[in-house]
Structure 1
Amino acid sequence: MKRSFPLAFLLVVLALTALSCRVSLPGGLQSETPTLIPTLRVEKVPQENAQPPQSLPDLVDQQNTLVNLYERVNPGVVSIRVYTAGGGGQGSGFVYDTEGHIITNYHVVQDAEDLEVDFPSGIKVRGKVVGTDLDSDLAVVKVDVPSSELTPLPLGDGESLKVGQTVVAIGNPFGLAGTMTAGIISAKGRTLESLREAPGGNYFSSGAIIQTDAAINPGNSGGPLIDLDGKVVGINRAIVANNAFGESTNSGVGFAVNVDIVKRVVPELIKNGKYSYPYLGVTSQEEITLLMAEELGLPQATGAYVLQVTPGSPADKAGIRAGTRRTSVAGLYAGGDLIIAVDGQEVRVFGDLLTYLMTKKSPGDTIVLTILRDNQRKEVSVTLAERP
């Protein structure tokens, strides 16, 4: 038996078929081949104890934090142009007080015959170096500008810094004034070679160094490393070159002078033009490898192993001992003292000892070193002197 279809129904079917076969192409052309998109309707099955979706970080708030931080801090950051007999260079600095003192690195102003300090406001003035510290690579420059033009940056607390904490660097990389980069505190308590020669031809070490992955490049030296409260926590000093030619470009490993050093040193540089560090008189590697510990016969691979003791130094006078027995490792001698604590605070690497001395002690102070000598624990009192 034939089925009859209403005329209206046939017209609807034909219309839908025609629509499904006409796909618009550029230029008003029509295609007779439909684009087929398979679809599947999925029924969502409720789950017991289903957790609500985690909210994404509020990127707008993060953005606004950085924008507001820059607007507050940048007026206190300066660019420094240096002219020397051999040419010149550029660096960064920041306003320390309303008296016109600017903090920067010593190596920025080293051998300067003329200095220009440029402010974000457009003011450009000459500056005069009033104090330098080669041990921490710090310098203070004095400028003569109205106090209303100066925006001193507050100093933070270096001891309370945490690895992973967000920080920003503002400075003058490659002459690009007012550049801001962001990163984190990568590590604390690093050591770097000082710029001042020690007795015997080596160089003293600088301690309490902050490591950061905030982008630092040539020209950033002397500029501030800042926390999210707008406080200076470090002075950008150096980077690790990341190519075979030793060119100074950012590698994600930068170093800054700890603000706790700045707070001890800068007032003395302003007052006396110099700062005196405590002096112990021992040489040690940054850390002890397992191979070293085995060669030296040490019961542990932590501590500061005494490689050398400077004759006549406080350590020498206190009886601290360096190694004398040869090992299979060239230049490594067994029998030396292993410093494992200072004033009751654990020393895991040499940087721990150096940081403690540089941030907590002064010449004339007495400290108590806990050492392992022939695997026997012993305490030794040492009266610190001034670095020669």
Structure 2
Amino acid sequence: MDSTPSRSRVRRSLTPLAAGACAIALAGGCTGRGPAPAAAPAQQAAVSRAAGDLEDRYRSVIRDVLPSVVQIGAGDGLGSGIVYDDKGHIVTNAHVVGSEKTFDVSVATGEKVLKASLVSSYPEQDLAVVKLDDVPDGLRAAEFGDTDEVEVGQIVLAMGSPLGLSSSVTQGIVSAVGRTVSESSSGGGTGATLADMVQTSAAINPGNSGGALVNLDSEVIGIPTLAATDPQLGDSAAPGIGFAIPVSMVRTVADQIIESGKVTDSGRAALDITGRTVVDDDYRPAGVAIVSARKGGAAEEAGLRSGDIITRIGGTRVTTITSLSEALADDEPGQKVTVTYTRQGASKTAGVTLGEI
């Protein structure tokens, strides 16, 4: 059910370490004069203790968090979700719930399948909340962390139901933060442009969507949503490149849906237009034509109108609808930006005070 952004592929060659090959040991380097000296017993013991301590932390995190990660059956598809509170609210991806209104939810303990109903879906941020019809005793809500404390290099675990294998756990690190990625609108995706995503090397596969990306303090720091693909290989998955919606956005959307039944304040900037990608004489994407501008909206108030072709937002070039969304992803409602556009072949600029999605 996962929709995936396109990414270029870097080819890597891995060579097995054959017998007699030179390896770097903790106790010494590698030379051509013979084997490196064995590590001292005290060093070996320290390494063993460190490995054992890390393994114990993994086990502790899994015990703490996995009971809060569920499998969601939505029509013919499967995804994952996280128990958000003790009232039976579960947060997941909008593309997991799709157009369905009722769901089958399986908890990690393997008890009977529970029924749930949609509270609201917010495709613009690919998030949704469903609620269990009957809340079982002992339902455990996950603990959510702080986006500001997420750092590159942190060890993380991804928990969910990849390929329908419930209660699965994969391990990796935070590879990058602040990524802006766009989902495909095909294959069940929402077509959303998502900002401030957490990139991770933990394996993200179909069915992981809506699950939990967790730090070693047993805190959810994101919801795995996308796995990068390689279009040159028929959109095969690119190993080690996955993306999770940051916990700050998860909380913002989920809290509004639970309180109001919908998102009332998206925090996402908009031009208040509908548009379409246009191409140049060589059939290359060349901008976004305004099909309509909402009356009283940001674009209309700035003097933009139907037929204008947007080519830049500030210093960022705009060639497609996706690039327009990405150019606006880091801006805020109420912020003023310079929009460059063409009208009847002439290039113009306008100062636009951005609206809100």
**Structure-2 change in CA distance of 1:317 and 1:369 (3 Å):** same
Residue among 206, 210, 218 paired with 1:218: 206
Q: Residues 250 and 180 from structure 1, CA distance in 2 versus in 1: closer, same or farther, beyond 3 angstroms?
A: farther
Instruction: Determine if contact 1:132/1:273 at 8 Å carries over to the other structure.
Output: no
Residue 291 of structure 1 corresponds to which residue in structure 2? Answer: none
State the match for 2:247 in structure 1: 259
**Identity, % of aligned pairs?**
32
CA distance in 2, matches of 1:241, 1:194: 11
1:74 aligns with 2:60: no
In 2: Cα distance, 1:332 partner to 1:368 partner: 16
- Which AA in structure 1 matches 2:197? I
Structure 1 residue 167: Cα displacement:
1.0
Q: Superposition pairs for residues 1-388 of structure 1, below 5 Å? A: 56=47, 58-83=50-75, 88-112=76-100, 114-123=102-111, 124-146=113-135, 148-193=137-182, 205-242=193-230, 244-247=233-236, 249=237, 251-276=239-264, 277=266, 278-281=268-271, 312=293, 313-314=297-298, 317-318=301-302, 336=312, 338-339=314-315, 354-355=329-330, 357=332, 366-369=334-337, 382=353, 384-387=354-357
Tell me, yes or no, if the aligned pair for 2:158 and 2:213 is still in contact at 8 Å: yes
C-alpha change, 1:282 and 1:271, in structure 2 (3 Å) is closer
Distance, in Å, in 1 between the alignment partners of 2:67 and 2:239 is 28
SS in 1 for 2:143: coil
Cα distance change of structure 1 residues 204 and 61 upon mapping to structure 2, 3 Å threshold: closer
Partner of 1:149: helix, strand, or coil? coil
Gaps of 5+ in 2: 1-36, 274-285, 317-323, 341-349
> Retained in 2: the 8 A contact 1:171–1:224?
yes
SS at match of 2:137: helix
Tell me the CA shift for residue 368 of structure 1: 4.7
Q: Which amino acid aligns with 1:70?
A: I
Partner of 2:210, secondary structure, is coil
TM-superposed CA distance for 1:82, in Å, is 1.9
* Change in CA separation of 1:356 and 1:272 when aligned onto 2, cut-off 3 Å: same
- Taking CA–CA contacts closer than 8 Å with sequence separation of 6 or more, which of the two structures ends up with the larger relative contact order? 2
Contact persistence 1:135–1:196 (CA under 8 A): no
TM-score in terms of structure 1 length: 0.61
- d(CA) in 2 for partners of 1:380, 1:159: 32
Q: In terms of mean alpha carbon deviation, does 91-100 or 114-123 score higher?
A: 114-123
Deviation at 1:114, TM superposition (A): 4.2
Q: Distance in 2 between matches of 1:195 and 1:137?
A: 12
User: Which letter maps to 2:269?
Assistant: Y
Higher gyration radius (CA): 1
What number of residue pairs does the alignment pair up? 276
Q: 2:64, 2:218 within 8 Å by CA — same for their partners in 1?
A: yes
Distance 1:186 1:385, change over 3 A: same
- For residues 228-262 of structure 1, what are the alpha-carbon distances to aligned partners after superposition, in whole Å with 9 as ceiling and x for unaligned? 11111111111123572324x46211111111111
State the Cα distance separating 1:317 from its structure 2 match.
3.3
Q: Which residue identity is paired with 1:217?
A: N
Look up the SS of the partner of 2:173 in the other structure. strand
Q: Which amino acid aligns with 2:270?
A: L
Distance in 2 (CA, whole Å) between partners of 1:162 and 1:353 is 24
- Counterparts of 2:64 and 2:162 in 1: how far apart (Å)? 20
